[in-house]
Structure 1
Amino acid sequence: MKTKIVVLVGIAFCTMLLVSPALASDTGTIEIYGNANEDDTIDMRDLTYVKLIFFGKKPETELADAKYDGKINPLDFIQIKLIIVRKESELTLVDSADRIVTVKKPIEKIVVLDSDAAEAVTVLGKGDEVVGIVDSVERKSFYFPEMSKKPIVGTWKEFDYEAIAALDPDLVISYVSKVSGVDEHLEPMGIAVVALDFYKQNTLSEEVEKLGCILNKRDEVKNYNDWCKEKEEEVKSLVDGLTEEQKPTVFMEGKYKGPGEIGTKGPGSASDDLCAMAGGINIAGDLDTTYPYVTWEWVITENPDVIIKEKYTSPCWCWDNTADPQELIDEITGRDGASAITAVKEDKVFACCCEPLFGMDSVVGLTYRAKSLHPEFDLDPDSVYKEYVERYLNIEYPEGMIPLYPPPGS
């Protein structure tokens, strides 16, 4: 068994019976103890498998010890049965920081330490159980009109642990990058901490699965995953028909500090993954770092077919006018040497709001990205976004909102 940090926490957990293949983890294995045959679900096959281990007919697997007590025995049989029927009182999982976490029911009070966790909890219908937030959730009141009013326990980078403890939460959800410090402060207080990111495409499905188990929202997870798969397949079916020559080269610009220092998205970034899935070729995809800075001269030399300015617009949702995104585009097209770039010559410079690009709504971002790279695709990203926010966030989609400008093909 791998060596991991063991954290005992008191939260609810139940396992999912089905995982959306389009959003499954790289391994295809849901890391929940009780998943004895180490596939993508816990079902009667796991009960059979763990019995075969007990009787010496199968080798022991890492996740077979459903009770996580160091031995395989009939208690594991009972635990797996309880998981299947959603009646377990505790369960053990591996979170996204590779920590082994034992959890108990019920979950009634949640603290979210980032807006991605807030969105995931909302999508699964448990937003009312959030009792504490950070400032990034407050700024996104457009997504979280009620949750944004909850007590603030810090910023997304620094937390007030006394304020968290005063809320007496059953569960605290943290980014992987922050969980070590969070757990160091809260574990001695007996407060449960689970690391789940909800913004990386290769772990999103399994993280949603685990949260759904924790919150006893298995059916809601299946509904969400199935919807995402449907929308993703719409894009994939179109991209699969492209030749390599039909895939445009793309420069995705982030923070602009001047012509000698322009932020972009390299290999391993969410934008790089999104670009490839949408049928594009990231000109920074072969650089050495995930979030490199490049020069404008380098961009001119690379001569991209499409330029996309990615911009966070918080505390506004996206743009409610064309002047603001047009100003971003004009700044790019007005730079020295810009007129020599194919994207500028062919009017393929876009401003894109970052809000739907990453996280729980990333399939919306995928649809926008595919439409910007291939305006000929029969896709309606505005409708996909509207469906997401009204169906899963239970809020009204603002008429006239502009997530991407100009409209592709206009």
Structure 2
Amino acid sequence: MKTTHILSSLFITLVGTGALAQTTVQSCNRTVTFDAPPKAAISNDVNLTEMMLVLGLADRMVGYTGISGWKTLDAEMTAGVEALPELSAKYPSKEVLIGADADFFFAGWNYGMRVGGEVTPETLEPFGIKVYELTESCIHVGEKAAVSMEDMYADLLNLGAIFNVSEKAEALVAGYRAELDSFTASLSPLSTPPRVFVYDSGEDVPFTAGRYAMPNALIEAAGGVNIMNDLEKSWATVGWEAVVERNPEVIVIVNYGDVTAEQKRDFMMSNPAFAELDAVRNDRFVTLEYVEATPGPRNIAAVKTLAAAFRAQ
């Protein structure tokens, strides 16, 4: 566990004859102290909400935001949030969070918050709403290492500390680590790592994953190399010329929104500009759901999906 990812300390401050337990965690470039576990939490986006659910925190939540405006929930997620209201279909306003009497907002930069926007840790602080930021998104507010699975593990461990369910969080992370280690150890070696392009969206210019976006880590864990791993950004647009020049052997489509994965594949397969790409010539496409391609509990399954695709003939 890296101290740059998680800083959890527990100390006792005597108040009269009682005791107040405080927990401090690292959230991007901030340290955030909690006098007690939140009781009225809100999460933004499907993957962050699933992190809350997998830790059994639904009863500490007053709602969630940022899902139906772009994505749909599968049966598992629908069951998990059935008792919770969606307070905003897309990014919430400050008034939405205040109106719900929230005391905690789990979000990220470009996952419910924008740098310089209306909803930030600083704008919510006067209203007693503490914010924990998704680790993957910290590149938007400072320097960080390239994305890794440790980012997702850190978020679960920090949430565990914040909500006083550290034992559960540590067990989950230990299980994920063991599952991933066992799986990668069992993989047949590849003579060379396949060149992989992540196609999120866009036709005029593609939106893709750079070195700070979770697919970069998923691709590496599965034995491939992201052709945009030198892009010093998280999720960002690039020119199609760069994609053609780097000639991906496999294209990973992120499935969400109004344009389906099949439509994205058809666009690339039918466009003469891409006809000579190895991935197009050999029809080597693999689909990840948005909730798999972004930090969260389904990242291990995503690695398995990618590993199988990279080894398919």
Taking structure 2 as the reference length, the TM-score comes to 0.77
Offset of residue 327 of structure 1: 4.0
The SS at the match of 1:120 is helix
1:372 is the counterpart of 2:275: no
| Alignment equivalent of 1:331, drawn from 267, 273, 281 | 267
Q: Name the residue aligned to 1:393.
A: none
Q: Counterparts of 1:219 and 1:296 in 2: how far apart (Å)?
A: 46
Listed one character per residue, the Cα deviations across residues 341-381 of structure 1 (whole Å, up to 9, x for unaligned) are 22233331334332212222211111111111123xxxxxx
Listed one character per residue, the Cα deviations across residues 86-133 of structure 1 (whole Å, up to 9, x for unaligned) are x97321313313333332335432222343332111101121331132
Q: Name the residue aligned to 2:197.
A: 251
1:210 is the counterpart of 2:158: yes
Listed one character per residue, the Cα deviations across residues 13-56 of structure 1 (whole Å, up to 9, x for unaligned) are xxxxxxxxxxx44x47741234xxxxxxxxxxxxxxxxxxxxxx
| Alignment equivalent of 2:299, drawn from 344, 350, 362 | 362
Q: Counterparts of 1:129 and 1:271 in 2: how far apart (Å)?
A: 30
**Across the two proteins, how many residue pairs are aligned to each other?**
290
Q: Counterparts of 2:56 and 2:178 in 1: how far apart (Å)?
A: 21
Offset of residue 284 of structure 1: 1.9
1:172 is the counterpart of 2:105: yes
5+ residue gaps in structure 1?
1-23, 35-65, 70-74, 76-86, 317-323, 376-408
Q: Name the residue aligned to 1:32.
A: 8
Q: Name the residue aligned to 2:65.
A: 134
Q: Counterparts of 2:107 and 2:45 in 1: how far apart (Å)?
A: 7
CA pair 152-289 structure 1, distance change in 2 beyond 3 A: closer
**Equivalent pair of 2:25/2:162 in contact (CA under 8 Å):** no
Share of identical aligned residues, percent? Answer: 20
Offset of residue 157 of structure 1: 2.9
**Equivalent pair of 2:43/2:105 in contact (CA under 8 Å):** yes
Q: Counterparts of 1:248 and 1:230 in 2: how far apart (Å)?
A: 25
The SS at the match of 1:100 is strand
| Alignment equivalent of 1:147, drawn from 59, 77, 81 | 81
1:242 is the counterpart of 2:189: yes
Report 1:286-365 matches (<5 A).
286-313=230-257, 325-360=261-296, 361-365=298-302
1:109 is the counterpart of 2:5: no
Q: Name the residue aligned to 1:157.
A: 91
Q: Counterparts of 2:121 and 2:206 in 1: how far apart (Å)?
A: 36
CA pair 242-353 structure 1, distance change in 2 beyond 3 A: same
| Alignment equivalent of 1:272, drawn from 201, 216, 236 | 216
Q: Name the residue aligned to 2:177.
A: 229
CA pair 289-204 structure 1, distance change in 2 beyond 3 A: closer
Q: Name the residue aligned to 2:25.
A: 94
* Higher CA-based Rg: 1
Q: Name the residue aligned to 2:126.
A: 188
CA pair 307-145 structure 1, distance change in 2 beyond 3 A: same
Listed one character per residue, the Cα deviations across residues 166-186 of structure 1 (whole Å, up to 9, x for unaligned) are 433343333256398444444
CA RMSD in angstroms comes to: 3.3
**Equivalent pair of 1:118/1:137 in contact (CA under 8 Å):** no
5+ residue gaps in structure 2?
137-146
Offset of residue 336 of structure 1: 0.7
CA pair 280-94 structure 1, distance change in 2 beyond 3 A: same
CA pair 325-174 structure 1, distance change in 2 beyond 3 A: closer
Looking at secondary structure, tell me which structure has more strand per residue.
Answer: 2
CA pair 341-106 structure 1, distance change in 2 beyond 3 A: closer
